[in-house]
A and B are shown apart, each in its own frame.
Chain A
Amino acid sequence: MSQWAKNVSIQRWTPSSRRAVMVAGVVLLVLALAPLFASNGMLDRLTALFIYVILAAMWNALAGYGGLISVGQQAFFGLGAYFTIRLANVGLDPFISVGLSAVIVGVISYPISLIMLRLKGGEFAIGMWVIASILHLMVNLDGLIQGETGISLVSLNHYDSGSRLTIIYLLTLGSMAGLLTLLFFVLRSKTGSAIQAIRDDEEAATSIGVKPEKTKRLLFVIAAFGIGAAGALWLTSATTFLPKTYFSVQWSAYMIFMVLVGGIGKFEGAILGAIIFFLVETWFSSTGVWYLVSLGAIAIAFSLFLPKGIWGELERRFNWRFLPVGYRVEDPKKEKQ
């Protein structure tokens, strides 16, 4: 027994994970400098990619770590855009409205979580869809929005088109980096260990004093906040708010696709999934309906045959671990074998 303990060490940071964080830093730096050399079209597409990364990471936090599958996260996406319009309408700078709007969405999600987290499994999934539907209908009641006609974020015109694009790009990049870092540290904290314990075995976790309700609520609010920010940012780059588009269940389909393909419950998996989705969209979205059919079919195939996603599979095969949100037990004897 003692011999076993002597040879085993518990690691968080492995050399490869240290390298990974450094690489991530360099990539972010290069991306931050992109406005100096990239075309407008390129910046616009990258902005979309960053928003996908946020969406995937947030949905993954909820499903992969909280064990909560939602098909109603478009609720917060739409709400984020809506409050940006509302705040900008009272004269606030559109970009400040984005940040404030995300905070409001996070606050609103708290009372919602009190009711919804009582639901389990499929009930929670569709229940969230009902929430999205309610918020959509309520937003439609606001005279400012003019129902499904929608409204544009006109105050963006205060900025000339070139600098507007750059600001949106950098703001989105910053938000993505910030939200990912936030998530990274939450998942690494004591709460994060609790979260992963719950995911692995809720009953056992409860019996050692972990409070699943509290940690799930935290994830729910963070996810709402992040997705709210994503919706607000999407609005700045698309400029027009059409309730039907923003509150569409398709956003949930996208999030599910990204996370399932990338790797559910894997921090890196969500990012990889977002990149794959971005590429698939770039190449195939012109095929219209067949593109959507394939997204659904691929999501089914992954959940049945490759439930850990591409990242999970890579990790298993090559024993990779880049961004350490968990702990790993290293047994030197095993490695030698």
Chain B
Amino acid sequence: MTNQIIQAILLGGYYALIACGLSFMFSVMKIINLAHGSLLVFAGYLLWFFAEHYHISPFVGLLIVIPVMMLIGWALQAFLLEKSARGGELLPILTTFGLAIVIENLLFEHFGANTRSLAPYIGDLSWESWELFSGFYVGKTSVYILIAAIVILGSLQLFMKKTALGRQIRATAHDPDTAGIVGINPKRASAIATALAMSTVAVSGLALGVRGVFDAYSGGPQLLFAFEATIIGGVGSLWGTLIGGIILAFAQTIGANIHPQGFLLGGHILFIIILLIRLILAKGGVGHRLKFALGVSK
């Protein structure tokens, strides 16, 4: 029991980590990037590629892959999102979904159907563990992933709150036209935000490969996990994403206890329950009453 709770928290750390980038882009730029999962898998493949062909440890590989992903983020913003966001809020959904299809199938074309993992390239670390207390072990990688999630979420939060660039990104998210009038280059702010989100995607790719195996089509499920963690935790709150990830992992653990195939179902059903709660709260809540009052006053 205790063991399961500890494992769920660690798994939640992974979900929070992969949700960072999605949640960041969603809260800051109001864009749900449907290619998030595929980009994450792409980062995983890049790390695998450097490890397999150039014997670069995936941790060192991050030094290459993070800048590469940031560059991709910048290009994504400049060539795809910038233009599609101007066409209304629905267009980015379509373009990022199209992008996901393109990336997935290109990865399949290039790397084939075999599953890959980064575990063989990190030496003993992949199976090493700490004994928390008698009989309870935690895998070192899982702990590192949880720490990475906390560090990344914390520094994103600090960056957004305390730095001039963070303020500019928030201002652009709030109202890009006014941001321009104030002297902010909205394109630059959005491109930096996307690049930042993609840098977290690079780290997520490492986590994905270190924890287990992936193939070209692993992006879909990763996108769903990241999305569920984001929504459960509450959009716009980066710390909420951490809580959301852990709650999602708990629901999956409970699901798996109920039925051998209930792991994924548990998470999804919790997601729906959260939506239901949101619906009920909205109906009787302040927002609804306010709308009602405005409707009457008209």
Q: Which residues of A contact B (CB under 8 A)?
A: 63, 67, 69, 71, 114-116, 118-119, 121-123, 125-127, 129-131, 133-134, 137-138, 140-141, 207, 249, 252-253, 256, 260, 289-290, 292-293, 295-297, 299-300, 303-304, 307
Contact = CB atoms under 8 A, between A and B. Distances in A.
Contact of B231 (A116, A123, A125, A295): A123
A303 B268 contact: no
8 nearest CB pairs, A to B: A122-B32, A296-B101, A296-B102, A300-B98, A299-B98, A292-B105, A289-B109, A296-B98
B94 A256 contact: yes
B125 interface: no
Contact of B101 (A118, A119, A253): A253
Given A121-B89, A134-B272, A253-B97, A303 B84 contact: yes
25 contacts: A71-B34, A114-B279, A115-B275, A118-B282, A119-B275, A122-B32, A122-B89, A130-B271, A130-B272, A133-B224, A133-B268, A137-B268, A141-B259, A249-B220, A253-B97, A253-B101, A256-B98, A290-B109, A296-B98, A296-B100, A299-B98, A300-B99, A303-B95, A304-B80, A307-B87
A293 B105 contact: yes
A63 B34 contact: no
A307 B91 contact: yes
B261 to A, nearest CB: 6
Nearest to A297: B102
Nearest to A135: B268
Contacts of B223: 126, 129
B279 A118 contact: yes
Contacts of A292: 101, 105
A210 B26 CA distance: 30
Contacts of B109: 289-290, 293
Contacts of A63: 90
Contacts of B106: 289, 293
B26 A138 contact: no
Contact of A126 (B32, B102, B269): B32
Majority-rule SS of A interface residues: helix
Interface string B257-298: 001010011001101100110110010000000000000001
Nearest to B276: A115
Interface of B: 26, 31-32, 34, 80, 83-84, 87, 89-95, 97-102, 105-106, 108-109, 220, 223-224, 227-228, 231, 259, 261, 264-265, 268-269, 271-272, 275-276, 278-279, 282, 298
A271 B265 CA distance: 36
B265 A134 contact: yes
Contacts of A303: 84, 87, 91, 94-95, 98
Nearest to B26: A122
A290 B102 CA distance: 9
B216 to A, nearest CB: 9
A297 B101 CA distance: 8
A134 B90 CA distance: 24
A98 to B, nearest CB: 28
A289 B108 CA distance: 7
A249 B268 CA distance: 16
Contact of A121 (B90, B102, B259, B278): B90
A81 B154 CA distance: 47
A203 to B, nearest CB: 12
A127 B105 CA distance: 23
Most buried by A among B31, B95, B298: B95
A71 B223 CA distance: 12
A213 to B, nearest CB: 12
Contacts of A249: 220
A304 B264 contact: no
Contacts of A119: 275
B95 A300 contact: yes
Given A115-B272, A129-B224, A133-B268, A122 B105 contact: no
Contacts of B31: 122
A131 B268 CA distance: 8
Contact of B32 (A115, A125, A134): A125
Contacts of A138: 265
Nearest to B31: A122
Nearest to B259: A141
Contacts of A118: 275, 278-279, 282
Contacts of B98: 256, 296-297, 299-300, 303
